[in-house]
Structure formats: C-alpha cells, structure tokens
A and B are shown apart, each in its own frame.
Chain A
C-alpha cells in the first residue's frame, strides 16, 4: 500500500470583496471552500471542473503560490502551512508546478538553458558545468535536442514549449508535480504526445501528479483517481474507472453526458443542465448545485450535504446517497 504523500484537510481560500464608503469588506468569494483529499505516492489524482470551480486555486494553494485562508496541508510528513517563506522555498524543491499557457510561463528574454538552469541556481545545486550538463540531459529526456538549449521560447511551437515547462519542473527532481491544465492549449495530435511524455516520466522518476484539467476524457486517461469540483468544493472523488462507469453525483452525471463523443454509435442518456454556474460570491444555500440539479429536494436547498464515503472509497457530497 502506497503512503499518502500529500494530505489536504479543509483547505479554504476566500477572497475579500471590498466596497462601501470606507472600502471595508462587504463579502467574500469562496474560491476554494473546505476541500479535503489525499494523494498517494506515485499516483495521479485528477481534478476536474468547469471554469471558476476553484481547481487552479486549489493547485496553487498547495504550493502556497496563493496563500490559503485556512486548512492543513501535509506534504511528505511536513506541515506546509507552518513553514516560513524561506523554508517554503526550499520545500518547493519537492513540489513543482507546470502551467497551462506555455507562452506566458516562459521568460521570452531568457534562452532555454537559462530557463532550465534557474531552479538549480535558486537552490544552489551543482557547479556551473554540472548544471549545464543536467540541462542537456533533461532536454533529451523530454524529447528535445541538446542544441535547443541556446534558443529562445518564441522559436518553439506550443507543444515544444510545454515540454520545456515540464523539463523545468523536473530539474529539481521533485516528488510532486501540480500540472495545471498542461494540455488545454495544445492541438489534439500534440496533446497526446505530451500526455504520453508525462506518463513515461512518471514511470521513470516515480512522480506523483496532481493533474488539473477541464477535459474529462484527458483526466480519465491519465488519472488513477479523480475529484470533481463545483463552486469551490469537491462533490465526488473516486477511482477514475468508478467515476466514469458509475458516477453518483448528479453534477458528475451531467458533466459526463455533456462531453461530445467522437463515436457516432455512442448512445448515451443526455442530461443538459439549465442555466449557468452561480457566482462564487453568492453561492446558493445548502447544496451549491441545487439550482441546476434535476433531483433537487427541499433538504438540498437548506442543508449542505456532507462529503462522505458511499462505499469502497467512493466519496460523494449529495443527499441522495445518505446511508
């Protein structure tokens, strides 16, 4: 049984809304509202959800790139929340992030060698010659060539840039990589190259991934377990095969049925949700999904459902599954 590498408990991130004459706080946007999950060593946990559901905020809060409002984060036995800024920076040797937009996350004025070398310099690792050698090796590992080191980001295509982003995250040999929509900006044929690369790297280096994406088929493909987020909360969390074969939460069902299938013979029951995702500044009372849920009851409007085990580690937050 693999150990839990990352344990997140009751993570919250509230953004204040200021207003009024004195510019005081008039409300909060609950971007992440009481999220708990664990990631086992060597597994891939996927987080899916629509825009604004808080999946990226969750990912960034774990590295404290965004300071969480409250909650506990335990990474490899260390309480991340109690670390000083300096200790946190050292901690990030073991937890790295890959961003969505490979155009915006690479410095256009630095060549690839400098971009890849920087994490080593920051953490004071190796001599200059060793660092350069490591850059060359890493470029080969992610499927680029060593002569690419002297080039600049604009000389690469989107897929190649994402490889560089992954290489940068790997330079420090981290244990955990938070991948925030790493393939969303890529074309289909390039997307599959990057997904395969990420799987190969995981096997080779024993990496643990927190894979954040909005594309359900991508998440299903790469993840061992998947958490579905809606308005700042995880509404369902289970193994990826369970989630797709036996979704419990009405939102998960709707989300799965909304994905267009390229198979013209696929017959599926379509659940088309009405309306939009409510604003996280004014989330609905009770279960936040009740405004769009086809199975809504009186209880859903007032009581917030607990996030609990519906059997075999299949967690769901819905009144329909109360034992």
Chain B
C-alpha cells in the first residue's frame, strides 16, 4: 500500500509569547488520502489555520514553533526537512490558497507574472512557456478573456476573479495536495457557489487531494469526503461527512449543528452553546469543552478524554462515548 498524501500525527505547534507558551495546536492527527477532500471545521482560535500553516511550514518562527509530532507528505517527514527542500515542495507539490485573495496577490505584478513565477521556479520553463502556462491555467479556472487578463493587475479584478487567479496559481504546477484556508469566506454566496464548483472539478479531473479549512458546515457538506472537527487546539471528532453531519457523537459538534439557522422548515428558537470560545492556552486540565458542555461530569473537568473509535471510520473525544 502506498503512503497517504498527507499524514499529520500528534502535531503540536506552540507559540512562545511574553505571556508564556500557547499551545495553538495541541496533538492533532489528520490523514489525507490521494484524491480525497478533507475538511477541517472549527470556530476562530481552534487552531485550524495554524495546522495548515504548519504543513507548509509557514508558521512565523519566532514566536511559533512545531514542538512535537510529525507531518508526513507521501512518507517524507516535513518537520525535519531543510528550508531548501521545503521550497521545492511549496507551490509545486503542496499548494495553498488563502481567505483574502486581495492581500495574497502582489499588487505590483501582473497576473501572468505571478502565476508564471511558480512555474518558472519549479519547472525551469522559459518566460514564454510560463506565460503560455499562465494563460492555459486562467482558461481552466474559467476566466474569460484569459489572453488579456494575463497582463492585468490584481486591482482590476473582482473578488471572485481574484480567487480564481489564486486557484490558477496554486494549480499551475499540478500539486498533489491543495490546502485551501477559508477560500470562499470573503465571497458572496453566488460567487462562492462558482468557486466551490471549480474546486470540485479540479479535484475530480486532476485527482488533487484537498485539505479544506472552513467554519461553514454547509461548505463542508458540499465539498468534503471526510471531516475533522477541531476545538481549542484539539481534534474532537472526525469521520465521514455523512456520519458527522447526520449522527455526530461529540456534544460540541451536536451543538454547532443545532445552532445553525436552517433554510428549510422553521424553528422558533435556536439552540445555543453557552459561553465563549476559549482563549488558546487558557485551559490546561480536563476536556477543553467542559466549561460549555451541557453533559459535563466531574471526570470531564479533571481528565482529558482520548480520541476513540466510536463507529465505522468515526472518532470522538468524549467520555460519554465510553
């Protein structure tokens, strides 16, 4: 059996600040198989973005540092590789797209230059070949007038178009893994639908594995094969998309799903999880969700539960599922 595309095991990324060591990611294990779309969901501060940045080794150091665990990309441990090898991998074998397409594009270079940059860097293509590749990619992501757009600047494009450019750039070197960090959060729903459609198509045609980071459970339902739910730096539940959305086991996942207003049917009152999202590092003993959980027991407050198998391909971190 071949290696999975990505195998994150017990990853710990901590931030060393004036106020002490903050465990932003505290023991995360995620596997992504070839051609699979895996979603990481969670609220702000749960460590989902830091997890993805750790894979790319883009966590600013200092203050951030991977202090434990391993990240294996096709069997190669990324935690221990040097920066030179990492530069070969970034943009070539693993590509990433970010939430805000305006701040992740360079305003003083043309679209063609920016897409061509990674092509030239990784394939030794000539300037002309890189430009041709840029036009080809722009056409692939559905940008009209690709020959003209290639010479335009990011500010001349709309938000949806910029996100298409980001995807074109990420896909230019045919990566095996695409990490998408909230790719549609800044976009309107009708534009979001276009972008999700495009990503699904790329996943199908190029068999690119996608690690999709989002807070939107609707996006997860439409895109992902498997889901990882994170809370306060931990994975608290993971499983197939159907299992997680239809029969979740962890009280947090259940609460999250219940607090969503629905388009179909009507409900008088929304369920709401009491309290606030914890500040990373503020909880050290017991289950991280215990202060907000309505099924909390004494054991939850003193002992952190393990991530245990609770069903077919379904893991949950809760004492209730013992």
Interface residues of A (CB under 8 A from B): 50-51, 157, 159-160, 187-193, 195-196, 199, 214, 216-218, 220-222, 241, 244, 254-266, 270, 272-274, 276-277
Give the contacting residue for B270; candidates A195, A244, A272; CB below 8 A: A195
Q: Is the CB of A262 within 8 A of B188?
A: no
B161 within 8 A of A: yes
Q: Is A255 a contact of B190 with CB atoms below 8 Å?
A: yes
Q: Is the CB of B259 within 8 A of A192?
A: yes
**Interface residue B33 (Cβ < 8 Å from any Cβ of A):** no
Contact B246 A264 (CB under 8 A): yes
Q: Which residue of A lies closest to B188 (CB)?
A: A50
- A187 and B257 within 8 A (CB): no
Q: Is the CB of A262 within 8 A of B276?
A: no
User: How far apart are the CA atoms of A193 and B261 in the complex, in Å?
Assistant: 12
**Interface hits, B66-107 → A, CB 8 Å:** none
Partner of A193, one of B161, B190, B256, B272: B272
- Residues of B contacting A254 in the complex (Cβ-Cβ under 8 angstroms): 190
The reply on B155 being an interface residue by CB < 8 A is: no
A-binding segment of B16-24, B215-223, B294-302 = B215-223
Taking CB atoms, residues of chain A closer than 8 Å to B256 are 188-189
Interface of A is mostly: helix
A159 to B193, CA, bound (A): 28
Q: How far, in whole Å, are A9 and B155 apart by their CA atoms in the complex?
A: 37
Given A157-B277, A187-B215, check contact A262 B272 (CB 8 Å).
no
Residue among B246, B261, B274 making CB contact with A218, cutoff 8 Å: B261
Q: Is B242 an interface residue (CB 8 A)?
A: yes
Given contacts A214-B189, A220-B261, A272-B197, whether A262 and B270 have CB atoms under 8 Å apart is: no
Bound complex: CA A254 to CA B255 (Å): 29
- Assembly CA distance A188 to B189 (angstroms): 17
Which residues of A are found within 8 Å of B158, using beta-carbon distances?
Answer: 276
Q: Does B124 contact A (CB under 8 A)?
A: no
- Given A192-B270, A192-B272, CB of A260 within 8 Å of CB of B259: no
From 264 to 322 in chain B, residues with beta carbon under 8 angstroms from any chain A beta carbon are 264, 266-267, 269-274, 276-277
State the Cβ distance, A305 to closest chain B Cβ, in Å: 20
Q: Give Cα A273 to B242, complex, Å.
A: 27
In Å, the complex CA distance between A159 and B277 comes to: 10
Whole-angstrom distance from the CB of B93 to the nearest CB of chain A? Answer: 29
In the complex, besides A193-B273, A241-B266, 15 extra interface pairs with C-beta distance below 8 angstroms are A189-B43, A192-B260, A192-B261, A192-B273, A193-B274, A214-B188, A214-B189, A217-B263, A220-B263, A260-B221, A261-B221, A270-B193, A273-B194, A276-B160, A276-B161
- Select from chain A the residue with minimum beta-carbon distance to B274: A193
A189 and B218: CB pair below 8 A?
Answer: no
Residues of chain B within 8 A (CB-CB) of A270 are 193
Cβ–Cβ < 8 Å partners of B274 in chain A: 193
Tell me the nearest residue of chain A to B269, going by C-beta: A196
A and B contact pairs by CB, cutoff 8 A, 28 listed: A50-B190, A157-B276, A189-B273, A192-B261, A192-B270, A195-B261, A196-B270, A214-B189, A216-B189, A220-B263, A221-B261, A221-B267, A222-B261, A241-B266, A258-B193, A260-B193, A260-B196, A260-B216, A260-B218, A261-B263, A264-B242, A264-B246, A266-B221, A272-B190, A272-B197, A273-B193, A276-B191, A277-B188
Residues of A within 8 A of B161 (CB): 276
Given A262-B221, A272-B194, A187 contacting B188 (CB threshold 8 A): no
Chain A CB within 8 A of B128 CB: no
Closest-by-CB residue of B relative to A160 is B276
> Among A192, A241, A260, A277, which residue has its beta carbon within 8 angstroms of that of B219?
A260
Say yes or no for B137: interface residue by CB 8 A criterion: no
Measured in the bound complex, the distance between the Cα atoms of B273 and A159 in whole Å is 12
